[in-house]
Amino acid sequence: MKSFQSIGLAGALLVTAASAQTFRRLGACPTLGCVFPPDQADFLAGQYFDIRLEVHAPRNGSEAIGLPPDEKFTFTIAKGKGKPQDVTKFFGIEDPKLEKWDFSWYEDLFARDAKKKTVVDVTSKAYRRVALYEPGEYTATLSYNNGSTTKATWLVRDLKEVRKTKNIILFIGDGMTTNMISAARLIAHKSINGKYQSLMAMDKFPVLGHQMTHSIDTFITDSANSASALYTGHKSTVNCMGVYADSSKNPFDDPKVETIAEIFYRLTGGQVGIVSTAFIADATPGALTAHTRDRGQYGHVVDTFLNGVTNYTWTKWDGPAVLFGGGAEQFYSPKLGGKTYQDKDYYEEFAKKGYQVLWNKTALASAPNDKKTLGIFTVSNMAKWIDRNVYKTNLNQSLSPAGDKTPALDQPGLKEMTLKAIDILQARSSGKGFFLMSEAASIDKMMHALDYDRALGELLELDDTIKATIAKLKKMDALKDTLILVTADHGHGFDVMGSVDTHYLAAQNTDRKKRDAIGTYEQSGQSQYVVGNLTYTDSNFPSNWDPRYTLFQGLMADPDRREDWRIHKDGPRTPVVETEKGSKDYVVNPKDGQDGIVINGTLPVDNESGVHSLTDVPVFAMGPCQERFGGVYNSIDIFFGMAECLGLSRGKKEREDAHGHRGDHY
C-alpha cells in the first residue's frame, strides 16, 4: 500500500526556486543544473528511460551569472547509501558527445509586453535507453559550474512481479468530471420522488478512486501531459507526450520514458488496441507510442503508431493490433490534401505492414477479426453521438476518410469501435492478453466549445460503451480475466446550478429580465429530458434533447458568450468569432444563442474556448486487481497500478532474445 502512494516527503530536496510563475526557464528545473528525470521521479523496475543533463548559463536577465556554459560537468548515481558512480560506469555505457545550444524566454508578463527575452546558453548530454532494476532509492547528482550541484532522488517502486490480470481495458473520458457524470445521469435516467430508477454503468463499479491530475511544473495539465502520466508513471510538462521537456529546439530529442503499451508489448507479447473518437494523432491516443515534447507533430505521431520511435535508440514496437478513430488527413496522400509525415500515404504504409484498412461502420462490422486493423472513419474528430443519432443532417460535410471530399455518413460510435477492438484483440492475443485504451475524446472537445449537451451526449455514449463492454466480456467468458478502469485525464470547471425556462427566456427583452428564467433550489424542478415512459427508463440516452426546461449549466472559465441553455441543433457550438479575421480578439458569435444572455468572459481575449480545471477526477475499477485503485492518489499511480496488475515489474535485467517475452502464465 505504501509504495502505491507517491507523496514525496523524505526525498524532497530543497531548491532555490526562481520566482518564475507565468513562464519558466525550464519547467522541472528551477536551478541552473538540470537532471531529467528530475527529483522525485518514480520508476517501474526495468522501465526504459533516457537521461538528459543540462547546464544553463543565462547571458542576461535576473539569473545572469557571468560564466561561460560549463563543458566539464559530471554526473553520478548512487544506489541507497552506496558509493556514487559515474553514470557511464553505473550503466556500463559510453559517454555521449557534448551538445550546445541556446534558447530564450520571458521572465514575466512585463518582459513579454516589452519583448525583452532572457537568453540562456546551454551545454548538455543525453544518455539513451537505460533502466533501473533493483527497487529502492537512488541519488543522481549533477556537479557543475565549479562546485554547484543538483541532486535528484529517484525511487524504483518495489512491486510484485506476479501477473494478476490477463487484460486491461482503460476507458478515458477526456475532461470528464464527477459533476458531468451527475449531469449525464440526470438527463438520461428517470427519477421518481428522488430515487433513480436506473443507474449509469459507471455507478455500478465496485471500486472508486480519485486521482490528482496536475503537471510536473504547473497545477493545470493538458491532455498530452496527463496521458503521459497515466501511461508512463512520469509527470511532465504541458504538450509533452512520453518525454520530459528539455530546452533544445528539436521536439524529438527530449528524454523519453517507456509507456505501458510499449512495456506490455515488449515483455509479454500481448496485443495493444487504441481507440478514440478524436483524430487519432491527438494527445490521448498518441501518447501511447509517441515521444515528443510537441503534441502538434501529428504526422510524426501517426508514424510512431506504426513504426515506434526510429531516430533515437528506443524500445521494440511493431504497431498496435487495433487503431480506430478519426484524423484521416494524417493518412491520405498530400496529393489529396493530406498532411502526412514525410509526405507518405499512411493507408499504404499500414497496408504494407499487413493491416486491413477500414473507412466506415459497415466495413467495420464485417471485417475479419484475425488481422491487424486500421480504422479511420472521418477527417478530423469523429461526429458526435447527438449528430450521428439525433441531428443527422449535420453529418453532411466534406469529411470522407478517403480524402475525396464526400461526406463521412457511415461513422461508427465509440461502442461499435470498442466492441470490434475487443473481438480483434481477443482473436489475436493467443492467450497472452491485451491492453486496450478507449477514449471518449469529445467530452473534452465539446466542453471546450461550451457545447454542454454534446459533451453530455458523449459521456452517455461512453457509459453505454462500458455497459456493452461488460456484457460482451461476460458472454465471451473474459470478464473474470479483464480489469476495467474508467477515468479521465483532467477536468473542466463544469456544473449544473438549476434549470432554465427557455420559453420565458426567449420572451423577455432585457438581459436583466431574462435572468428570471433561471430556477435555482426549489425552482429548479425535475429533469425534463426523460419523458414519463417507464419502458424507456433503462435507455442510456435522453428521450428529448430539446425540452422547455433545460439545465442551467456551464463552466467556470470562459470567453465572452451568449447562453440560451438550449441544444445546438445545427452542429457543435461556435460561441465566439474574431473581431476581425486574424485579430485573435474573440467576442460573442452574433449567431449563437440569440434568445440568451450575453455573459462576458474572464479568460484572456485571445482564448476562444473554455479551459481545463484543477479538480481531481474519478477512477472506477472492476475486475481482477480492482482493489488497487481505491482511495486518493496521483495520476502516475494509475500507471503503477496497471503495471503491477499486469506483472510488468522486472527486478533483474532479462535476456533480450528474438521475442523478448517470458512465458507468462496467461
Ligand X SMILES: *[C@@H]1O[C@H](CO)[C@@H](O)[C@H](O)[C@H]1NC(C)=O
List binding-site positions for Mg(2+). Answer: 174, 282, 284, 439
Alpha helices in 338-484 (DSSP H): 346-352, 361-366, 385-389, 414-428, 442-448, 452-475
Contact between 60 and ligand X per CB under 6 A: yes
Selection from Zn ion, ligand X, none that 614 binds (CB < 5 to 8 A by kind) is: none
Contact between 649 and ligand X per CB under 6 A: no
484 contacts 622 by C-beta, under 8 angstroms: yes
For ligand X, the binding residue among 300, 384, 428, 432 (CB under 6 A) is 300
| Residue in this structure with the C-alpha cell 429548479, named with its chain if needed | 524
- The contact mask relative to ligand X for 349-388 (x = CB under 6 A, - = no) is ----------xx-xx-------------------------
Cα gap 131→153, rounded to integer Å: 15
Measure Cα distances from 19 to 22, 28, 246, 347 in Å. 9, 13, 20, 49
| Residue 580 or 656 having the CB closest to ligand X | 580
Closest approach of Zn ion to the CB of residue 444, in Å = 4
Selection from ligand X, Zn ion, none that 606 binds (CB < 5 to 8 A by kind) is: ligand X
Cα gap 321→323, rounded to integer Å: 7
Contact between 583 and ligand X per CB under 6 A: no
| 68 secondary structure, DSSP code | P
| Residue in this structure with the C-alpha cell 566539464, named with its chain if needed | 72
For ligand X, the binding residue among 193, 311, 366, 510 (CB under 6 A) is 311
635 flagged as catalytic: no
657 contacts 233 by C-beta, under 8 angstroms: no
Q: What angle do CA 206, 232, 432 make, to 5 degrees?
A: 65
Closest approach of Zn ion to the CB of residue 97, in Å = 39
Which residues within the stretch 101-120 sit at the binding site for ligand X (CB under 6 A)? 116-119
At position 214, the amino acid (one-letter code) is H
| Residue in this structure with the C-alpha cell 457543435, named with its chain if needed | 572
Contact between 604 and ligand X per CB under 6 A: yes
For ligand X, the binding residue among 606, 627, 651, 654 (CB under 6 A) is 606
| Residue in this structure with the C-alpha cell 517507456, named with its chain if needed | 258
| Residue 444 or 463 having the CB closest to Zn ion | 444
Contact between 246 and ligand X per CB under 6 A: no
Cα gap 241→226, rounded to integer Å: 9
46 contacts 58 by C-beta, under 8 angstroms: no
Which residues within the stretch 390-419 sit at the binding site for ligand X (CB under 6 A)? 393, 396, 410
For ligand X, the binding residue among 252, 279, 346, 541 (CB under 6 A) is 252
Selection from Zn ion, ligand X, none that 330 binds (CB < 5 to 8 A by kind) is: none
Contact between 533 and ligand X per CB under 6 A: yes
- Catalytic choice (124, 215, 223, 248): 223
Instruction: Walk across the sheet containing 74-79 and list its strands.
Output: 42-43, 148-156, 136-144, 74-79, 85-86
Q: Using omega within 30 degrees of 0 as the cis cutoff, is the peptide bond preceding 37 cis?
A: yes
Write out the H or E segment, with its range, that includes residue 485.
strand 482-487
For ligand X, the binding residue among 4, 11, 63, 67 (CB under 6 A) is 67
Phi, psi for residue 361 in degrees, rounded to 5: -65, -40
Which residues within the stretch 434-473 sit at the binding site for Zn ion (CB under 5 A)? 444
Closest approach of Zn ion to the CB of residue 327, in Å = 16
Contact between 258 and Zn ion per CB under 5 A: no
Which residues sit at the interface with ligand X, rule CB under 6 A? 60-61, 67, 116-119, 146, 252, 300, 311, 359-360, 362-363, 393, 396, 410, 533, 535-536, 560, 587-588, 598, 600, 604, 606-608
Catalytic positions, written as ranges? 223
